[in-house]
Structure 1
Amino acid sequence: MFRFQSIKPLFLHSKGLTTPFPSTLSLKHFSLTSQQHSFTVSYLIDTFGFLPQAALKASKRVSFDTPQKPDSVIAFFNRNGFTHAHINNIVKSIPNILIYNADEKLSPKFQFLRSKGASASDIVRLVNRCPRILTSSLKNNVIPSFELVKRFLQSDQKTIDCVFGSRPFLRYNVGAQNVDMLLDVGVRDSGIGYLFGRRPSILLSTDLREAIDEVKEMGFDPSKINFVIALHAKRALSKSRWDAKVDAFKMWGWSEEMVFDSFRKHPLLMLVSKDKINEIMRFWVVELGWDPLALAEMLNIFGFSLEKRIVPRGLVVRYLIVKGLREKSAKLYTPFSVSEELFLKRFVMCFKEESSQLLKLYQNKKCFQENREDGVESAS
């Protein structure tokens, strides 16, 4: 049985006595409200499979006594490519969408997004991931948010890619304030474009000033791209995840000071996963037998693919050193930094007698792959 709020009684006065008794109008209101409430609950259960308790909770946010409006909203979503599962997700998030006038409230938003290049599937994906866009003001949030992002990403398509990623649509007021804050401290448009393209949630945080001050205190210049990359790293990582990565480097012989100096030189370093740090270190130290401290002078290597670049090239370079075809004192970074074509030309094909063996070694990563998991476990 559903509980309804008690109705405040009207009092009848007779011969000095005060007797509580509901008026006819009050009883009629109670009856209408009760019927409307019950219909909403039944509709949510029958149409969307709500559990009774969830339906009752949702009915506190929306109520209707006929299926006309909710049916029209469902029909609108169906016409625009939304599945029953999509609609169910939207209704559970914002039940009051069922009493919207779809042509007045929803259609203009879809039309705007289509005018900017969003496909039907783009719109379905965006709304399903962030249903709140349906209740956002087109004039005060959706359009200015889109234009704010476009200012820094320069094109509708890049803006669509940003907005339709696995991220919530921008809250314009917060985003605009944070953009102004970054511009005020000297961050360039390209830096803000970097954040929109890779971590727009940073621009939605309410405590961005604290992170900006922290990164500035670390010595980063706001006018340089490294400033926003460092900001990205500091905002993306919790303290525990940051400390875990520092500990991973220390496990392989780096000091804490080396880690922080390396971060200042190359802030992308701390956006590499702890597992990848351990895998690269293990291959470098255990498989190749090289000094882990040497990697502090070639920090870009942590951004390279382990399987496609670091392992095959590392095996070739080790072979050349062992065979005396390359000096141990030669710079290790060069073979890893050049293009594929140049690597093969300078470190494989130029050695006529060894080229077939080097090419086979370069293409064969099976040995490392078989031992990879054991190494990661021992290093973690």
Structure 2
Amino acid sequence: MYSVILHGRRLVQLQKWRHLRFVVQNGSAFSNSYSSASATDLSSRDGRKVKNFTVSYLVDSLGLATKLAESISKKVSFVNKGNPDLVLSLFRSYGFTNSQISSIITDYPRLLLIDAEKSLDIKLQFLESRGASSPELTQIVSTVPKILGMKEGKSLGRYYDFVKEIIEADKSSKYETLCQPLPEANRQGNKIRNVSVLRDLGVPQKLLFSLLISDAQPVCGKENFEESLKKVVEMGFDPTTSKFVQALRAVYRFTDKTIEERVNVYKGFGFAVEDVWAMFKKCPYFLNSSEKKIGQTIETLKKCGLLEDEVISVLKKYPQCIGTSEQKILNSIEIFLGLGFSRDEFITMVKRFPQCLILSAETVKKKIEFVVKKMNWPLKDVVSNPTVLGYNLEKRTVPRCNVIEALMSKRLLGDTGSELPPMSSVLVCTDELFLKRYVRNHGDKELVLELMTIYTRGRVSS
């Protein structure tokens, strides 16, 4: 195992909080009863009302961006702020900062639905009783909020201690190996040992702690874990990326015989063995797809107008398409046709940028509206450069276009002074090349400073 590693390389004022709990539960501003529900369990109208309430609460109480709050509302929704207020007040009473609380709720929003007094407070008191100082407690819970979703007791305490040990070791300038022999060969012991091994390989804390707190099978065993880890390392997966963990899950799940059978299925559809493993490197989860699902995806893409060899090429470029539903793929055609693209143009874009098949209607419409309607690039430019649909609008496209608009307004582009450059010249190049072409190439230092301010302001404000 070590050869594999080398290869990879509160005292706080609780009384004040309890008083607030009494006020919240008995005051006229809130209902005495707390209720929560998933929007999918309600009627469409009531569901929208609950979702809007949740979004407003997250924005007003935690200062979250609306888009982030909307994403969280898909995971948890509530109809009043009684319990959520108690949860936030409880965290503050233990010394958590507003930034830490926002991070906790963003990572594990379900905490807003857990009984603050009967569950969360008891767990936090339990951790304090083990000697956790306020700074340690707030840092560790902020780093691994899902630890509060565990039952109070030995497992909670042990996992907390282990997370603390890793955080402290990683702060040290002297690297420490935490893979120590454990007396009991049980599920919990195996998880701690195996997560230690992954940590020594360089797997980031975020991925480590997710594995530790979950019931992820790859880190629960011993021999199978070691064998699977060896295979993934030898395949060349980078331990610092999420694909490393995805590959470990996939290899752990399947026997060599099953993997061979899966590869043969793809061979039957026209893929070479080396193609299958190249696809696995791009998307380890694609081996989970059944023969029926693979065949269905291929037939759906043919319905879109792709020839068989073109389908193979698209899936080799973007194997994630195999997990996409037939309806979503067919809907994507309608989205692009509705925006003025022809079916042939859609096929061309898919062949160049298969991700077109899984982009949401909202994303496509928003980006097309900006580059075509606002910037006046023709649709054919999007057909030629479909990757622009995959770029972050706020962080990449808008800041660059702000610079171009500024130059056009000053009549500093092209022969006419206000000539719109090709889309590829503005959006497809690297940041460094963009700056060299449109910002730093001017002799006027004041102009360069102005353009750089326009560019960076757009990126920061987004």
TM-score normalised over the length of structure 1: 0.48
Higher Cα Rg, which structure: 1
